[in-house]
Amino acid sequence: MARIQVIESADPQTLSGFETIIDVRSPGEFEEDHLPGAINLPVLTNEERAQVGTIYVQESPFRASRIGAALVARNIARHLETTLADKPQGFAPLVYCWRGGQRSESMATILSRVGWRTSILKGGYKTYRREVQTRLYDQTCPLKLILLDGNTGTGKTDILNRLPDLGLQILDLENLAGHRGSLFGRLTGRPQPSQKMFETELLQAMDRLDPTRPVVVEAESSKIGDRMVPPALWQVMQASPRLEVHAPREERARYLVRAYADIVADHDALETAFTRLPVYPGQARLADWRDLAAKGDFARLAEAVIELHYDPAYARSGKKEERPILARFELGGLEDGDLAAAARAVADRVGAWSQTGA
């Protein structure tokens, strides 16, 4: 039998040495968060894990172990006959569970008996999670950030996503968080990832960036929907220079109708957003907004929400703003050509800042 190797670190360099990483935890645990690139081959399903746990607490640890062992053996056999059936003799996976205990040991023992060079992550997922927390909560973020700022509806996300084609690095926090970062920012049909998964994907995105070159990121608040920007990144964002984008209110309203088409088409989502307004619009105004929605006059509705909620909130935050402004961009419109021109102007300014630092 091949000897099982114990891996003690979950840093990116160590993990990159494994072509296949196997997470043997339940699908529910895997969905909440997992090591980058891992595949889920659970030795216990969600229901089986709950069943064994209940028996352990309410009846007998011995009976729970016996029933659990039978379930684990059957599940591993199924993985060998399906997902792992075509793996060659040189297959060398890394296996982990919650904390490097019985579940990963069971899988690793059988895989090693097949003849595969199998490794176990010591401490399991918890070892990896400590790595993420250390880097995002305790260490200093090495990135040089420039914030893309401006009122809601000025096309910042659109501009940001044009920048890579112009040679710039970006960090798209809203995409990673699965939320547009505003009151109406929920994405229809796409729930936000867990906080842990958000941090895993954020760290992966950060590791792909060159810390010697500037990175453009939207000037988000410390929370994007229900997801918190980790302290290491947030501290750098609070001290980074800004590029401000401005556009006329009516243009922003029309842009929001296009950008938030999924919310516009979802009456329930629109109503939910109304109830979450920090400043209650009042019965008369709310009735007027509902009437505008019923008539399909979403541009006027967007302009009304901008006037009552978005612009006052941005103005309040601006009074406390101390981060320097590198440049302001005045956009006459927010059509495709306008946004493309804005992206080029942003790219030119970032390039100048990169060369001179001013």
Question: Are 78 and 44 within 8 A, CB to CB?
Answer: no
- 115 and 235 inside one domain: no
- 116 and 155 inside one domain: no
Q: Output the average pLDDT for the chain.
A: 92
Domain boundary among 68, 99, 133: 133
Four-point Cα dihedral 112, 115, 119, 120, nearest 10: -10
Global pTM value: 0.91
CA angle 98, 9, 36 (to 5 degrees): 65
- 157 and 268 inside one domain: yes
pLDDT of residue 2: 64
Question: Are 310 and 253 within 8 A, CB to CB?
Answer: no
Phi, psi of 262 (to 5 degrees): -70, -35
| Calpha distance 328→331 (Å, rounded) | 10
- 275 and 338 inside one domain: yes
Nearest to 150 by CA among 306, 323, 328, 321: 328
- 62 and 23 inside one domain: yes
pLDDT of residue 196: 98
Section 201-222 average pLDDT: 96
- 43 and 173 inside one domain: no
Write out the residue range of the structural domain in which residue 329 sits: 141-356
Domain boundary among 109, 133, 157: 133
Look up 141 and say whether it is catalytic: no
Q: What is the pLDDT of residues 222-233, one digit of tens each?
A: 999 999 999 999
| Calpha distance 220→233 (Å, rounded) | 11
Q: What is the CATH number of the domain that holds 227?
A: 3.40.50
| Calpha distance 207→197 (Å, rounded) | 15
CA distances to 1, 21, 44, 59, 76 from 103, rounded to whole Å, are: 19, 15, 8, 21, 10
Percentage of the chain modeled with pLDDT above 90: 74
Side by side, which strands form the sheet with 242-246?
169-171, 214-218, 144-150, 242-246, 325-330
Write out the H or E segment, with its range, that includes residue 51.
helix 46-58
Q: What is the CATH number of the domain that holds 25?
A: 3.40.250.10
Could you say which of 35, 97, 245, 259 is catalytic? 97
Domain boundary among 133, 156, 185: 133
Comparing 111 with 314, the larger pLDDT belongs to 111
- 74 and 115 inside one domain: yes
- 11 and 103 inside one domain: yes
Domain count, the chain: 2
- 154 and 53 inside one domain: no
- 121 and 243 inside one domain: no
- 87 and 171 inside one domain: no
- 145 and 205 inside one domain: yes
Q: What is the pLDDT of residues 284-333, one digit of tens each?
A: 888 888 888 888 888 888 898 888 878 887 887 766 677 889 999 999 99
Percentage of the chain modeled with pLDDT above 70: 97
